[in-house]
Amino acid sequence: MSKVITAKEAEAILSQGGQPPAGSILTPSARDVFSRSDRQGGKSAPAPSKKPAGPIVPDNEFKWAPGSDPKTPADIEKYFRSPAIEALKVKICGIGRRIWEKDYVDGNGGNIVVRVGDNLALCTPTLISKGFMAPEEMCLIDLDGKQLAGERKRTSEAMTHLGIMKRQPKAKACVHAHPPHATAFAVAGVRPPTCMIPEAEVFLGEIGYAKYQTPGSPENAEEVGKIGVDHQAIIMENHGVIVWGKDVEDAYWKMENTDSYCKTVWIASQLGNGLHTFGADKLKDLIKLRRSLGMPDNRDGLRECELCDNADFRPGVVCQTPSKDAAEEKADPAVEAAVRQIADQILKQLAGK
């Protein structure tokens, strides 16, 4: 079993100039200790003695000093094994486990990429179950996908993630998976409708829709990358979903939001009462709120009538109670007698009479 490292143990490890043992799990406060130390050049830093002045909002974004990417193979290797990167590897494995447990991936499906430098990203390897990854299996690549460190070969789908990261600097982490409900929309070629759930409009924005291209190909990176500039969640036609966020947990939440939204809309479409929207006027408030949280939205230029236009949404199956005529037809004794007669004849023939 993996050893769990507490904040106290992390301080002790750092004071001796060490690193967390490979495969160990860090508690959130231990992770903070390592990240703080890494930001201060690897020196053990005492925890701040003063309590924050007021309530805080956690910030898990991986930050680096622009222009500070390691250049030599030795420096790259050292960075790849630095406490902050080791902590991030553990975090990526945790997110992998969560997408696997949620049934968002099967087999070796899905992948995760986190930006860790001007031209550096940490990513999952190819041909691995996301539910059973170890920190030492992660890979370091540049933004062109060239592998710089790590024993396992990087995922081929990293190129799609990098297509977004190169165009949208706010995209610090991407998660790709095949969650069944959203992937069903991708297979049916249906864009999820809008103006139905306020939280989805704020935290996801409009879900983007990328035309099918071969997974891992430059064409897919181009198609998804362009759509990723304005959309944090993208349904990839006949494939799955890719989401981005300011950190890997934030990106993962958008995967949950996307699949849950598609699931709810799908269930609602079966209830036979049509789908109700809250209207363009209210959507404008939500877009404003989304913008105030620093998230992109390109719906400013749209006219009011276009904001909640779900004309393309065509649920395939709608639950219908049988009409009175259909119910009577079913109970027609003449029809039932005819069916019985045919069935009797077939049975006699089968019995050789």
Q: What positions carry a catalytic annotation?
A: 157
- Single-letter residue type at 305: C
Least separation, in Å, of the C-beta of 215 and Zn ion?
5
Q: DSSP readout, 97-130?
A: HHHHHTTS--TT--EEEEEEETTEEEEPBSS--G
Contact letters (x/-) for Zn ion, 252-281, by CB under 5 A? Answer: ------------------------------
Least separation, in Å, of the C-beta of 239 and Zn ion?
6
For the chain, where are the E strands, in sequence order? 4-5, 25-26, 111-117, 120-123, 139-141, 147-149, 173-177, 208-210, 233-236, 240-245
User: Which of the residues 303 through 342 are near Zn ion (CB under 5 A)?
Assistant: none
Distance CA 186, CA 104 (A): 14
Nearer to Zn ion (CB atom), residue 186 or residue 286:
186
Nearer to Zn ion (CB atom), residue 44 or residue 160:
160
- Residue 119's Cβ-count burial label (10 Å; 0-12, 13-18, 19+) is middle
Nearer to Zn ion (CB atom), residue 60 or residue 155:
155
How far, in whole angstroms, is CA 287 from its chain's centroid?
21
Query: How many residues touch Zn ion (CB under 5 A)?
Result: 1
Nearer to Zn ion (CB atom), residue 87 or residue 233:
233
Least separation, in Å, of the C-beta of 4 and Zn ion?
32
Distance CA 60, CA 32 (A): 9
Under 8 Å between Cβ of 70 and 118: no
Least separation, in Å, of the C-beta of 110 and Zn ion?
6
Q: Which residues pair with 114 in a beta bridge?
A: 122, 173
Contact letters (x/-) for Zn ion, 205-244, by CB under 5 A? Answer: -----------------------------------x----
Residue 179: closest CA among 238, 99, 107 = 99
Least separation, in Å, of the C-beta of 174 and Zn ion?
12
Least separation, in Å, of the C-beta of 131 and Zn ion?
16
Helix, strand or coil, per DSSP, at residue 49:
coil
Secondary structure letter of residue 207 according to DSSP? P
User: Which of the residues 280 through 299 are near Zn ion (CB under 5 A)?
Assistant: none
Nearer to Zn ion (CB atom), residue 150 or residue 240:
240
Q: Which residue is nearest to Zn ion (CB)?
A: 240
Nearer to Zn ion (CB atom), residue 196 or residue 221:
221
Instruction: Tell me which residues touch Zn ion (CB under 5 A).
Output: 240
